[in-house]
Amino acid sequence: MLRGSCSSITFVRTSREPSADELARLQALLTYEETQGSHDFSGTLFLVTPRAGTISPWSSKASDIAHNCGLTMVERVERGVAYDVQTTASLTTAERGAIAVLLHDRMTEMVLADTQDAIVLFSEAEPAPLRYVDISDDASAALAKANTDWGLALSPDEIDYLAENYAELQRNPTDVELMMFAQANSEHCRHKIFNADWIIDGKEQPKSLFAMIRNTPQLVNNVNVLKI
């Protein structure tokens, strides 16, 4: 049987040590809900925070509010939820993992075992230098390797297109250029498949997948139907 409690914890990075007045204002600003209380954990701690390397929407807004309140030494504010889980016996690694899965969204969040580990929220990596793909020998092969190594998800025809055009430009592409091309030309942005023409058994279909979705509100003319 599991039981426990949870409370929110706010983490603040400052450019300098705040004065007593600034600290009092910051504490008043960050006392905003009843779950903010004691952080004395008697059980197993599961600290759920935004994923390292990301800045949550809450953080962006909270940091702006702190600056507007004159707390210019605040560089960034972030928060997490601390779950204090009580168990009758020590948890195994597998059991901890099973509980963590239930407590967070692995797409946007991570689970830490100690509040001191939250320092990773404010870690910043140095910008990496540009990387170039040498297309002087075999452009298609070099781009295909970069596609695999960097996870660009380019199709064969897109690789051929890039090879041809950079050959005309007479220069090597950079990793930034290839990533921007991959994202701007992706299914998410261009809907190359979802908005494409369909031919089934040699017969061209009258509607694309997007047109099929739009067809419903067009037929019912219902204002409550979300139109894409």
In a domain, 60, yes or no: yes
Distances (CA, A) of 42 to 37, 59, 70, 74, 98: 14, 28, 37, 31, 20
Domain count, the chain: 3
Is 156 in the same domain as 108? no
Asked if residue 101 is part of any domain, the answer here is yes
Backbone φ and ψ for 10, nearest 5 degrees, come out as: -105, 135
3 state DSSP class of 109: strand
List 112's β-bridge partners, or say none: 47
56 lies in a domain? Answer: yes
Structure tokens at 185: 């030309």
Lookup result for tokens 């909270």: 62
Which of 71, 94, 122 lies at the terminal end of a domain, its last residue? 122
The answer to whether position 129 is within a domain reads no
Q: Are residues 198 and 176 in the same domain?
A: no
Co-location of 78 and 159 in the same domain: no
Asked, for residue 133, whether it belongs to a domain, the answer is: no
Please report the pLDDT score of residue 35 as a whole number: 46
Q: Strand pairing of 109-112 and 44-50? A: antiparallel
185/197 same-domain check: no
Same domain, 88 and 71: yes
Are 178 and 134 within 8 A, CB to CB?
A: no
Residues 205 and 174 in one domain: no
pLDDT at 187: 75
Q: Do 114 and 7 belong together in one domain? A: yes
Q: Domain containing 12: what range?
A: 3-122
Domain boundary among 122, 147, 172: 122
pTM of the model: 0.62
Q: What pLDDT score was predicted for residue 33?
A: 63
At residue 64, the pLDDT reads 96
Domain assignment present for residue 209? The answer is: yes
Q: What is the pLDDT of residue 191?
A: 78
Q: Are residues 183 and 201 in the same domain?
A: no
Distance between alpha carbon 43 and the CA centroid of its chain, in Å? 30
In a domain, 18, yes or no: yes
Q: Name the stretches of the chain with pLDDT < 50.
A: 35-36, 228
Confirm whether 24 is domain-assigned. Answer: yes
Is residue 183 located within the same domain as residue 206?
A: no
Q: Are residues 22 and 94 in the same domain?
A: yes
